Amino acid sequence: MKKTVPMAEPEALNEDNAVVRASQGDSDAFSLLYELNVNRIYNYVFYRVGSEADAEDITSRVFYRAFGHISNYVEKGVPFSAWLYRIAHNLIANWHRDNFRRNEVSLDERVDLPQRIEPPERSLEQTQEIEMLLRGIRALSDDRQQLLVLKFTEHLSNAEIAMIMKRSEGAIKSLYHRSLVALKEEMVKIGFEEVVDEGSQVGK
């Protein structure tokens, strides 16, 4: 007599199993990962390159590269987004290198303001303040910019940033402190001291 074994129901696609299924060639799973991560990757890239067109171009490359290499992805207990951030970080580094070769104009001279989030009635003074601060951030080293963008736009904790940047949590704390010191110095250098002095206790 033949025994009938009930077929196991295929597990519904969700955030937890999407990475495994995408690495096995499931395009729906990759689409889900894309939808979950596209905004944050774009956001990160935008603040690192300062232009919407370049941010769109690099974000596209991030996802095409991820799509091409997802079969090699090994789950190591690190969020999938950390892998995407690292791809983005490498592509941004290439972009800066290529742009530096192509243009003699310094990168920190071109800063698109994030139009989609700002109220249109922004005052001239506010606009200038934002521009100066973005310029100051862009003058920082690569890892300091990365840390500030992840912390302030994505609101990631030190532990999460440590996973993305492959450093210890202590190293991130220390880097954060050094980044603020460097940013303050940069703001003073470009003549925008009120950003750091207003209400601040620096030097007291």
Nearer to another protein (CB atom), residue 81 or residue 158: 158
Binding site for another protein (CB under 8 A): 25, 27, 30-31, 34-35, 38-39, 42-43, 46-47, 52, 55-56, 59-60, 63-65, 67-68, 71, 114, 116-117, 129-130, 133-134, 137, 148-149, 151-155, 157-158, 173, 176-177, 180, 183-184, 187, 195-202, 204
Within its chain, how far is the Cα of 119 from the centroid? 23
Q: Which two tokens stand for residue 196?
A: 């750091």
In sequence order, which ranges of 50-123 are alpha helices (DSSP H)?
52-69, 80-102
Compute the least distance from the CB of residue 27 to another protein, in Å: 6
Query: Which residue's CB is nearer to another protein, number 58 or number 82?
Result: 58
CA-to-CA distance for 195 and 186, rounded, in angstroms?
A: 11
Q: Decide if 148 contacts 118 (C-beta within 8 A).
A: no
CB atoms within 10 A of CB 129: 15
Taking the least distance from each CB to another protein, the nearer of 17 and 129 is 129
Question: Nearest distance from residue 55's CB to another protein, in Å?
Answer: 7
**Closest CB 86 distance from another protein, rounded Å:** 16
Query: Shortest distance, CB of residue 75 to another protein, whole angstroms?
Result: 19
Of 9 and 195, which has the nearer Cβ to another protein? 195
**Among residues 134 and 190, whose Cβ is nearest to another protein?**
134
Candidates 68, 47, 61; CA nearest to 94 is 61
Report the C-alpha gap between 100 and 145 in whole angstroms. 17
What minimum distance in Å lies between the beta carbon of 8 and another protein? 26
Query: In which element (H, E) is residue 60 found?
Result: helix 52-69
